[in-house]
Structure 1
């Protein structure tokens, strides 16, 4: 059989598969061999070594090991070969599937005569490889953090889980919204909050009485016994959904703050209303996408694995073992790394901030513009071999979580983007040499920041004001960012539908079947171990999510009509339809790489054509174009987390609804407090680094396309941007064709992630935020993962969680104790990084001849 071109027969054709009475995965049955294999003591020892991995790589409890023994004992060679053939076909171009494992199972499938082993060893390894793929997971990262079994009677949606979840949603949602505008952002992630949830749950186990109370027709057990893994995960999912900052508020700041559009009617009520809409619309959309990006086994979701690992660390009994010479427990390791980073972070964040922005090359000649442009960390391109000693900067790309190929592809894209900016700036392409190279500001034809009030009169675009003032110009970094974004959209859409067409087609067929048969379970469409185990629980009907989506949309319409937005409802509908079309390819990419493609820039273009000259309509269309997709992807990630943890879907649905409602109330309050009480908010001089990178970018993009308009931008100012869409689509087709021919050689190259790196300039981010992450990923995700697999499996995610938690809690203490009411520590170590032109961010490579450039005044329209 040609595995490259023909899909092997599915297991249905080879196996007579059945479900046992308890709903677990049934054993394969074959007419010629139905007996169970009995292992000798020597074979049991050998098999357990295989199951647990070399040096106990896979940390399974004894009951899980026994389960895998049972499945292995009933696995026939015929079934094993069929499973392995199907695996080769499904994962031959899967960058997340280990290449050495793929080579090994390809060798096993080719026949015993090609393998240098005896008959018994060949059969044992063949059956073992098939067993762990069929009854656990194809991915070693998933096997390391997930159990292959499930206890359906374990408490999950308990009263105490709700109490803990609601409490930490309330605390963390305020904190995360508070630091959402910091550069780089500091977030209390799920892996951090789990550390707080665990002792809270244990405390309630000790203090709540062991009694049951009746509320109407329901009985509620106040204390069901020991705090369980599923209760911990239930509270974590609530907190993870609820504790995130709302990306809608980036746009809220743009509408409300005086340095932007200064709309006084944008208060708590409007902000809360639009937050509710975007959150719950995204929630409803997430539920409709389950078949595409949650249930397929190739949807690995690397970003959720640290949460699962930490959950296992906190609640599972850990066997005493020595891993590559290390015997420390995971729990103790977490708190040691947490404490070390908590203390250390005071150095780069307060005592010597030049270690955080380590633009040391510019210190040689602080006022040399060319040196600052190329090597600077603040407003330059960041060509610097070592740029920081700050974990919040190193961890900006989550290098200990995302696969190495993702980090490497993105860094390579940033490198390409840096050279593009370098070429445009040095050649003064479209006058870019007259402005700072790497920010999101718009400038007029004298090189100063564009004055919006001169072209907007009484809220409307003024043609006469525009002709008598200036065309808007952008720097080289922002121009490259826009072009890369446009190319990335078409590349993602075309490439994913060509490369993952079978997955998308099967999921769509399943969705149509669910409409025809609303009582059927979507889990029945998938035969991987997790989906089969999830058949024990009642699934959330699609219509629940559909109702949530429709109600959220109606609330949004009411808000848009009830407030003086001037935005037509039909424009919002069009933007939503386009976003829904993009959400499938973007989520497929997110599920396999951990990279989220934002849809806001595309929404601005669409709004600019539909509602020209209306800035607020442009912002609101951008809200629906970005937030609905972004929130959907956040919810989907937590649904995948619940899927891996085998949690009742309806319980998760209720927890997410409650947490999201609470989050909307609290984050709106946090933003309102920031607006009213934070001096210099969203300016480059803000003492706590609340510089609002994204809101500044939104403002510039809205001015450029929402007010000045796409015709003037694309036809007159920057016509090259129109061609970026075509270039992205053509590149996707060309790369797909090359990858079909050179599958193995191009397996780890991802064109969409490369474009995602190219677009990193133009908003004060540059290579200095990506190079340290590349080093960390090279060490942990490539070298240690391959050379010291057991250590990596046990400690890698714990190290990431401990350092991230230490930074978050240290940053909170530093902000409220030392920065909110500034206690300045002024010395060379805190001033050197901002003393030169890189810190000022106002330099340009060329002087403007005669103080003015561009076409003669009044010659543009």
Structure 2
């Protein structure tokens, strides 16, 4: 066999001392070997590859055909570019990167012989060019598209519209319960599928309309793309209406009691926030949809479940398992449905498994350290409830995300214990981890005692008390302020090439409206999407202007106390921070938001107004969060190869439905649930977030950030500067030591520290860590093919079964409470941990703590 030699310059980063790939000279063979023509041999080779064994037979056949046409020179060029593009990418398998570096050193260094070296190089390059380098994506996404498959039909809008409205109503009703469960996209998929299939069998195929507006009422069997488009629509209903988050705090009498915040006002603000998010999502396509590195782990289970439900499956033996994904899903769902009655109603101590406090219920130190309700939750075994275990989505987001955030949460918990036992800033006199704001007597802060005509009154404030917050609330605020600047600086530094390329593409698309966005991206998904008409950028720009108009109408027609310039300022800050935030979310499943920054800025811009403070936060967070939801759905459509304009129309219609239904659900909730948002509400509608928001609006709105930072908590104002300063050394560490710090993500660690400040503690995160280590690390690395086939199905099935059971229990047994009283349902609430009032130190004999009377201002 003839051989030729080629010198390959690896183009690797000179800073990478581990690999030391400085322009290595590589001897390679360009000869085609006979085994490359044998599909059976190649499939066997794939099965023996640690990083490619999750390729299923259907996809393998496609890759084999592409592999046969690839020259070795092209393959080496692809691998060389991959070492640069994917360097430091935590989702890119480390084994794959090691293998690629070894390949680039040549056949001799690879050590498998020239024939297998030639095959493996082409195989690895073909996976990158024609499929995906990520096992997660390969397990749910096909490298083949059928552009003739129906996607946008009348029945999609009819069926999805009904389930979108249903999901919006249910989720906006039960969000306020703790722990809350919701109708996830996986659950809605299960409802959409039989509806679509029944429709295709029952409804006659009449032709409706005239001319180009003519359509078929029932064009045939329900397709995979129809199912995906309907799911994307329903996702709008699955999400809680963002502005609704803030309605209890502003409207209920136990908080600010603003009766003028009516249904109409809620609709206007929801229009503004949600259509702003949708418009920004379209503009963000170049940053977080088209790039290959934007994996979006949170959407993969939805894709996997739809493929399982709709597409045929070949029978295969996977590590001894021959059960089909569809059958596995149904069995698991049924088991989860039955089981959830145990922790949610029959034996609730399994959900809040604070067993250490059962030993000595009145021991306050035990409750503070190990309690699940009052304390930090340093308990190795905290819950057997899937709604708690799944709180961090441990079978969906990468293991490094769960682990990094848990490490940060653990650090935050230790800091809290140190603070309360040293009585740092009077935190020893308060419960360790609550959102409530207290006065100097240790009682919930009474805002009416410092207000005159809803405005801050300094004399009343001097006569009453400064506000005090728990150690957990201090940790939350400090970490979140640092995270805002740290996350922005760190991601801008680490992902600058992607950001720069996307900015250039956006500018060119505005100059040349005929230019395709996909032309700048060479990955297989973008190549397949070139068959479909894109959504022009100016569509999204018009929508942005519409959302601004709705917001201005609401601000001017209602007494919100928010100047118009504040609205535009928050919008500008949101747009500036949303790019790095979305890049982070697309790769890790975590998104840092500007909600605390919005609260702080509201306190500075409109001093003395708690309502204005809430508005600035609502605007910032609402715009940010909605953009994330819509971008994720657009990425899902990108993976499923659904026409972009169909997705645009579906999202607009679903958003309109969600806004009106969500606003109506709040009216029904407020009028139908007695004692709503009280911490002792019988059905657990305690509104945790509303209490957190209220405390922060007092601290930063009513009292104001100047008094808070300059007098009460002076170190907090340095958090922004500290976050910006430490971003650079953290980036340098990870840049120069990528091998040793591959799974270290400082943004996630800091985000974990910021998890405190409410009733959620380590008890809600420890079970998820165990689940993630088992499924997203051990099984994923040891039994990759099983993981690729069953993992997302397992997560979807348990979540769906739990949700169905939770809804049934709520409607039948909890909405109008039917109490089941026995030891297993009362023990977790007994003693100090259940009372939620313990603190490390007793209030002094004087009856108050903190500064002496008259010394604060």
Shift, 1:619, TM fit: 1.2
Superposed counterparts of 1:229-240, under 5 Å: 229-240=224-235
Superposed counterparts of 1:300-699, under 5 Å: 300-699=295-694
Q: TM-score, normalised by structure 1?
A: 0.95
Shift, 1:723, TM fit: 1.2
Count of residue pairs the alignment pairs up? 835
2:126 matched residue in structure 1: 131
Q: Which runs of 5+ in 2 are unaligned?
A: 1-8, 17-28
Quote the Cα distance in structure 2 between the aligned partners of 1:545 and 1:454: 47
Quote the Cα distance in structure 1 between the aligned partners of 2:700 and 2:418: 25
Residues 170 and 243 in structure 1, CA contact (< 8 A), matched pair in contact too: no
Shift, 1:688, TM fit: 2.5
2:214 matched residue in structure 1: 219
Quote the Cα distance in structure 2 between the aligned partners of 1:350 and 1:484: 36
Shift, 1:325, TM fit: 1.1
RMSD: 1.7
SS in 2 for 1:659: helix
Residues 57 and 794 in structure 1, CA contact (< 8 A), matched pair in contact too: no
Shift, 1:50, TM fit: 4.5
Quote the Cα distance in structure 2 between the aligned partners of 1:791 and 1:83: 29
Shift, 1:218, TM fit: 1.1
Shift, 1:219, TM fit: 1.6
1:856 matched residue in structure 2: 852
SS in 1 for 2:682: coil
SS in 2 for 1:261: coil
Post-superposition CA distance 1:584-640 (Å, at most 9, x none): 111011000001212110001111111111222111111111110110011000010
Quote the Cα distance in structure 1 between the aligned partners of 2:375 and 2:327: 41
Quote the Cα distance in structure 1 between the aligned partners of 2:382 and 2:54: 36
Residues 10 and 80 in structure 2, CA contact (< 8 A), matched pair in contact too: no
SS in 2 for 1:474: coil
1:754 aligned residue (740, 743, 749): 749
Residues 52 and 60 in structure 1, CA contact (< 8 A), matched pair in contact too: no
1:764 matched residue in structure 2: 759
Residues 301 and 637 in structure 1, CA contact (< 8 A), matched pair in contact too: yes
Quote the Cα distance in structure 2 between the aligned partners of 1:808 and 1:232: 21
2:807 matched residue in structure 1: 812
SS in 1 for 2:840: coil
1:5 matched residue in structure 2: 13
**1:844 is the counterpart of 2:839:** yes
Quote the Cα distance in structure 1 between the aligned partners of 2:591 and 2:288: 13
1:252 matched residue in structure 2: 247
SS in 2 for 1:317: coil
Shift, 1:280, TM fit: 0.7
2:824 matched residue in structure 1: 829
2:24 matched residue in structure 1: none
SS in 1 for 2:787: helix
Post-superposition CA distance 1:647-706 (Å, at most 9, x none): 100000000000000011111111111111111211221222221111111111011101
- Distance 1:739-1:759 versus aligned 2 partners, 3 A rule: same
**1:291 is the counterpart of 2:286:** yes
Superposed counterparts of 1:133-282, under 5 Å: 133-215=128-210, 217-282=212-277
Shift, 1:389, TM fit: 0.7
Superposed counterparts of 1:732-747, under 5 Å: 732-747=727-742
2:4 matched residue in structure 1: none
Deviation >6 Å, runs of 4+: 52-56
Post-superposition CA distance 1:225-266 (Å, at most 9, x none): 221110000000000123311121111111111111001111
Quote the Cα distance in structure 1 between the aligned partners of 2:448 and 2:682: 28
SS in 1 for 2:144: coil
- Distance 1:54-1:497 versus aligned 2 partners, 3 A rule: closer
Quote the Cα distance in structure 2 between the aligned partners of 1:61 and 1:572: 54
- Distance 1:54-1:219 versus aligned 2 partners, 3 A rule: farther
Quote the Cα distance in structure 1 between the aligned partners of 2:829 and 2:177: 17
SS in 2 for 1:760: coil
Post-superposition CA distance 1:62-84 (Å, at most 9, x none): 4x444322211111000000000
| Worse-superposed segment, 328-337 or 207-216 | 207-216
SS in 2 for 1:443: coil
- Distance 1:168-1:51 versus aligned 2 partners, 3 A rule: farther
Post-superposition CA distance 1:344-367 (Å, at most 9, x none): 101111111111000000111111
Shift, 1:53, TM fit: 7.1
SS in 2 for 1:80: helix
Shift, 1:118, TM fit: 2.0
Quote the Cα distance in structure 2 between the aligned partners of 1:507 and 1:53: 38
Residues 358 and 389 in structure 1, CA contact (< 8 A), matched pair in contact too: yes
2:5 matched residue in structure 1: none
Shift, 1:772, TM fit: 0.5
Quote the Cα distance in structure 1 between the aligned partners of 2:372 and 2:546: 46
Shift, 1:59, TM fit: 5.9
Quote the Cα distance in structure 2 between the aligned partners of 1:533 and 1:50: 27
SS in 2 for 1:345: helix
Shift, 1:40, TM fit: 5.8
Quote the Cα distance in structure 2 between the aligned partners of 1:654 and 1:84: 39
Quote the Cα distance in structure 1 between the aligned partners of 2:585 and 2:517: 21
Quote the Cα distance in structure 2 between the aligned partners of 1:161 and 1:437: 50
- Distance 1:827-1:146 versus aligned 2 partners, 3 A rule: same
SS in 2 for 1:110: coil
Q: Which runs of 5+ in 1 are unaligned?
A: 9-31
Shift, 1:856, TM fit: 2.1
Q: TM-score, normalised by structure 2?
A: 0.95
Quote the Cα distance in structure 2 between the aligned partners of 1:41 and 1:500: 38
Post-superposition CA distance 1:782-820 (Å, at most 9, x none): 111111111111110011001000111111111110111
Residues 88 and 735 in structure 2, CA contact (< 8 A), matched pair in contact too: no
